Every structure is written in structure tokens, then in C-alpha cells.
A and B are shown apart, each in its own frame.
Chain A
Amino acid sequence: MAAPSSPRKPRGPMMLELESVDSYYGKAQVLSDLSLTVGAGQVVALLGRNGAGKTTTLKSVMQLVRPRAGRVTFRGQDITRLPSYKVARMGLGYVPEERRIFTDLTVLENLEVGRQPARDGSVAWTQGMLFDLFPNLAERRHNRGKALSGGEQQMLTIARSLMGNPALILLDEPSEGIAPVIVEQMARIILQLKTEGLTVLLSEQNLHFAQAVADAVVIIEHGSAKFAGSLAELKAQPEIRDAYLSV
């Protein structure tokens, strides 16, 4: 039951691999035997209904929630039980669902908090490059985080994690709660990041958005993967979509 219905692995070298991960909040098990893989340079969408365990999956990668069983490997290295800051320094960028920008800090200061030295094999982002990518932020660089609109805050969280020069970025529901125009902009940005060589694992409830950006999808329900495969494969099996996604 827990095994993905299409166990085919993505092409290319593996960037991130979760093997039979179990995660809990206190005594409540949220992820059970969850496995998924993200290939280098891919954009993978983690789909599932509200409460399916998407956020917990991303937190388990960051070690913000510590898996009680299973293994998380990033670029071939076991990162399970590393402190979060070490996970981040290995090249994982995390964009949380609630954004969690530092509202008392200015845009520039928010970026400064995210700054980490460049490591080989990843883009070395500068503030200038980020302001090219997010022109709205450039105008507001001296504004405090709390003065930004929801969309701007979302851009800022992404920009902030890019300052750490990640090889893989985890986006938790990037299209949630922002205006439709901004959603389109967000999709363009994700595709652009992909062309820069970044790998992306994003969580979504919105199949439409996932279709616009993702190469592959993983569907989870009750904390285990129910499907993994390409978008085309998902389209070929509408019964899966109907069973696990609210469209």
C-alpha cells in the first residue's frame, strides 16, 4: 500500500532521497514509511490534500522535525539527525509555508540573515542578482518586512533562502494566499531557477500550479506516497487524481 504505484526512478543523479521516513509530533505519527526521490535539476511537486503531511515532509528534510525512523540523503550524504543549520549549509534552502520573514528587519537585513558562502557546484547569488529576479523587492529594500504585501513577503522568503546559495530549494505551498498575477510570476521564477540549475521540491494543493512548473509529481496521503511519476503519467490515470487530490 505504501509503495508508490509507479516506482520508476527519475533520470540523472539523485539530489534528495527519503527512504521509509517515519515522523511524529509527540505521539501522533504523521509520516509513515514515506519514500521519495528528487533528481538533480528537477522540479518535483509534492501533492496532497490539506493535512496529508506535505509540510511535515519538508520539515523532515530540514530536520526541523526529526524522523524517528528512515533516512534522508542529500547529494549522497546522510543528513538524518544533523542539526538544521548544518543541513542548510550543505545546500538546502527552505521556504516555509507561513513565510516566517523577520518582520522587524528590513528587506536587506532579511537577505543578510540568509547569506552563506557559496559552495562549489551552485549559483553564487548576490543581492543585485536577486533584485533583478524580484524587481518589487529592489524598490522596497529599506522597508521592514512587516510593511510588505503577502506576495512581496513570499518573494522575500525565496530570495532569502537563495542568499544561502542552495543546490536544492524546498518551497512549501508557494502559491498559497497570493494574488493570481503573483502566482503567475511565481511560476515564471521557479522555471527560471530551474534553468539556473537549481533543483526544486515544492508542495502544492493546486494541481494547476504544479502542472505549470513540475517535471514530476509525488502524491501523498496520510503521510505515505501513493503515486510518483511524471505529469503525463498522472494525466493518464485520472482515478489517482480523483482519489487523492481535491480538484
Chain B
Amino acid sequence: MSSSTSVGDLVSQPYKYGFVTDIETDKIDKGLSEDVVRLISSKKDEPQFLLDFRLRAYKQWLGMKEPDWAALGHPAIDYQEMIYYAAPRQQEKKLSLDEVDPKLLETFDKLGIPLSEQKRLSNVAVDAVFDSVSIATTYREKLAEHGVIFCSISEAVKDHPELIERYLGTVVPSNDNFFAALNSAVFSDGSFVFIPKGVACPMELSTYFRINSGDTGQFERTLIVAEEGASVSYLEGCTAPMFDTNQLHAAVVELVTLDDASIKYSTVQNWYAGDENGVGGIYNFVTKRGHCRGDRSHISWTQVETGSAITWKYPSCVLQGAESVGEFYSVALTNNLQQADTGTKMVHVGPRTRSTIVSKGISAGRSSNSYRGLVQIGPKAMGARNYSQCDSMLIGDQAAANTYPYIRSQQPEASVEHEASTCRISADQLFYLQSRGIGFEEAVSMMVSGFCRDVFNQLPMEFAAEADKLLALKLEGSVG
């Protein structure tokens, strides 16, 4: 009878992207040491300043400890058991896509990110990163006509070293935290975006991260700079094969906006989450921060976090320029034994700075989902304003949701508003929808996407529908 379908079954849909591409890889030996850091740098033929940056970070890392304040639990990570560099064996990054290993193109095809001329997305330029390296970037020439630089960070180091030297590590210093230090020492690849003064980037930019190797850590580094009056919308997507071991993903993303510039950064994170017993899955420890350096500049983070065994991630904004604006829109969905501790920091430095935080946590199965956010208003942030809204939705009765909002204000006139709510999908609500002819799964997905609408509305159009489907898929089998 009807009670046989439970929301529990609904959330545990098999992971679609769990395949492994069989490709020859160039891997270095496992373990981390100063020699490994030097080896990575030399493999990439890096200038001295970057090697110095890495070595400094490595020394800082040696003296740091893993953070333990998040509501997360996992067995100790053995940093000597991991491989810090893996690349598909092909000589150089190919200028023409025709020369890229067809197996790689096929992989991205299967992931729904076709790269070839004929099939690629018409208004989105894509940088495809496979394990530690970027294998292709589409629409480069078209972007170059507008003065926009979009390439892998390794290429940027070669072609635009002055920009990298000027901006790298200026938003997230290498000693910011344990994982940022680790990333700074060993980062492999990632994307670089530079939008020159006055240019509105003519298309969406997107990086797709694919982890393929089972024993490799992923340490991407992304840097986006928008000069005065420039604007760009950027989307990051991620998937990984299903392994029964855990892979570490410790990325750093830095955004810089000068006067009147704006960056919209969206993430749809669908790393492998482990199975229903919590075996395997990605440990996602990511540091993302934007620096509104210029007056009236604008940084907006939108994230849809559905994967990973563990998510530790707080995309933040430092609002230094007068009247600059920071935004954080987040949907974090956890199921089975997934754990997420995610949120944001809005640091108001300049006068009349504004920030908005909208966080939607959905916890199903036996998962744990925490929002952790800090709103900090400095002494010079006259007239600063923040609005935060944190909503949690519980599916079933074994999941946990927590909210940890922190407010520190040194500015008596600032206005800080915080709203929070918790709801549960009830059997009566589902029955109501079913009794109107709506199938059980569709009923759940209607309720979940209704709950997330404020966030999905922020996603670039091409991806909003995807996000909706992704959540529905992730929830298959979990209510009941």
C-alpha cells in the first residue's frame, strides 16, 4: 500500500557520476615534504616568487593544527598517505580541443559538460579540470577579444605572472587556516579570471572540477579579479567517482573587486557523498573569500552543496570599500551520514556596507547539517547593515540541524537582523499533495524546491533547473 514508499527511499538515489575514467596518469609518490612542494613547482616550471610562496606556506602549515571547532567528526586524515599531484599523461595543454585525449572529452561529455566545438554550451565558457590539471578552456579567443582572461591558473602563472604575483594570497593569506596553508603549499591547478576595467564579461564563465584518482588530494586554486567597473558571473561544478576511501579536497578561492566591480560566484557541488553507511566520499575543506576592495563593489556567493561526506566551507566577504555589498545564498543538503558545517563571514570594514545572508539547510537520513555564520561590523563601518535568514528543513526524524549565528559589532548604529526557522516535511503535507494526484517524489521535490526558491533564484538561469533536479535526485527515498 501507499505507506511502502518512504521519503527514506527517496533520498538515496544512486550517484550518477561515480564512474572512473581509465587513463594513464602521471603521479608523484605519496607523502608531503619540502621536496614534494619543490617537485610540484618544478613540474609546473614556476617562477621563483611562486616557489617561495609555496615554501613559506608549507612551513606555516607544519606549525598549524587542523581546526576542531566545527560540528564535524571524522577519522584522522593521514597527510603522508596522500598523493599531491596527479595529471592525465599528455604533453602540454592542447591549444586545440581536437588534440585533447578523446577519453577526457568523453568523460566530460558523460558529465554533461561537452567541450567540443559543435556540442559545447552556447553561452558558457568552460575550464575543465581533471584531477590536478586543467585540460581545456573553451571560448578563450572570443573572451580575449574583450580583454577577458580566462585560463587555468598554471597558464596564468606563465602568461601573466605579474597579475598572479599582485593578487595571489592577498585575500586568503597562506597562514589563514590549516587547509588554506596546505593548499597554498601544494595547489595544482584551478582557474584564473581577469576582467579588465569597464568590461562586462560577455558570457558566463564556468569551471568544472573532476576528481578521478582514488588516492589523490585535490587542491585547486581559483583567483578572480574584476577591475574598476568590471563584472562577471562564474559557476563552479564538481563531481567525483565513487571510492570507498575518502579523498581530501582542500581548495582556495579568492575574489577581488575594485571600485564598482561585481563578481557573482555560484557553486553546484556534487562531489561523491559516500554510501548510505557513510563509507567513502569527499572531505571538502574549502576556503572561499571575496574582498570588496573598491567602493560600491559587489560580491555574491551562491552555493548549492549536495555532495561530499564532509563539507567545511564558509564563503565570505570582506567589505572594505565604502558602500560595498556582500551576499551569501546557500542551499546545503545532507543525507545518510553526510555532515555539513557551512555558512559565511561578512566582515564590514567600510562605511555603509551591506550584506545579505540566506541559508537553507536540508537534513535527511541520519545526517547533520550546521549553519555557522559571523557578521562582524568594524568601528569604521558607519551605517552598515546586515540581514540574515537561516532556515532548516528536516526530513524524517533522525537528522540534525543546527544554527550558530555569531554577531560582533563595534558600531552601535549598525543594523543587524537575524531570522531563523526550522520546519519538517510532515506526512500530512505529503499526503495532501498526493491526494491531489501528485506522486510522492514529486511532492517531496515540490516542497524542497519551494523551500530553496530564494536561493535558486540567484543561480544563473541555465543552472537553476539543474539544481532543482539535483536536489530531487539526492532526496530520492528519504521521507517517511
A and B associate in one complex = no
A: residues with CB less than 8 A from B are none
